[in-house]
Structures are given as C-alpha cells and as structure tokens.
Chains A and B, each alone.
Chain A
C-alpha cells in the first residue's frame, strides 16, 4: 500500500471499509452490542422505578451513561481485532500507522453512531424524553461517537492481543470518557431551558481533537506492541 495505493486518506478509507465489511458479515454490533445497550435502557427503570416524570428527568443522563459504558464494547469487538500476523502483513504492505488508526476509528465512529441512534430511539420512547430543539443534537451525538471511537480504538490498540484486553478496555476508557459524558449530558440539559450549549459543544470538540492528536502521536509506537 505505497504510492500506487494512494495517499493516507485512501488508506484510511480502505481500513474503514474493511472494518465495516467485517461487521456487515459478522453482525457483531448489530446483533449483540446494540441489543445489549437497548436492554440496559429497558432494565434501569425496573431497578429505579417507572415513575414517568422521574424517568423523563433522568432519562437523558441514563442514556449517555449507557452509551459510554456499553458503546465502548464496539471498540473491542472481535471484528476490529487484528492478530499479530495480520498486523505484520498490513505494516509490510506499507500502511501508514496513522491511516490505520484513523481508519479503525472511523469505522468504530460509524458503528457507534448507529448504536447511539437505535438506543436513543428506544430511550426516547421508553422514558418519554422531550426532544426540544433536537437539531442541536446533530452536533452532540456524532461528537460523542467520534470521541468514544477514538478513545476506544486507542485503548484497544494498547491492549491488543492481551488475554484480559476485552475486560481492560472498558475500564481504561470509562474514566477518560468523563469529558465526553459531561459535554453530552450538559448540552442536553442546557437545551431545555433554552441556554446556549456552545461551551459544551466546544468541550466535546476539544476532547475529540485532543484524542485525535494523541492517536497521531502514538500510532507508530503502538504498531510495535505485541
């Protein structure tokens, strides 16, 4: 994958396409992760009570907690994992590690966006969430998906081929996802009284940018992890 295979962007697209094709064949996110997130949304009221005004009030927060805790499983999905032999082959083909990182993160972002939309529809219906000024969510929802995908891809690369990797990644990601959680929930909270959500959107963009930079800086050393 050197000159004739196109630049970094083409490589990024090729990797993202590979990951999405694998998901299409195996259906790991569609059949396991998304239903798991949806059932979490269903089970919480069984535990805390089904008083609708309460659910409507705490619903958005519950939704974002579910997205961050369960959506991270998308980053550790089996179809995103590469065996050492596969990694060697891909790097021998001349894939830019940065393109590889962004390609994997892009595929995870798209899958996470799907996760957010389906689980979000379930949460809106079950908790009777008021979607006032919903067009603003067009900024918040993909922002959270991108941030979580970048974070999850980083953590998954760091723990690649470790036997405890699938358990470690959610644990490593959760504390670092706090800015994303706060930005998303506070943006939704501010939507209702009609306040500006711009500071929270900016926080999310800053978090996404910082993670993207971290990915660029660590892509090369990460390639050497076994």
Chain B
C-alpha cells in the first residue's frame, strides 16, 4: 500500500467508527423517547 492508501484507510476507519457511534446515539435516543412516551 502506498502513502495515499494508508491515508484513505485511516480516514475511512475513523469515519466508519464515527458514523457507527452517531448511529448508536440516535438509536438510543429514539428508544428512550419511545419508552418515555409509553410510560406517560
């Protein structure tokens, strides 16, 4: 792999991890809001 390959690999992995965390955050928020609506 040349320099650009490693750069794209690094940015890609971090972007994927960031997307995953954001997604879990949104999913957890949606679940908590649904649960709150159920309880009220």
Classify A-B as touching or not with yes or no (CB < 8 A): no
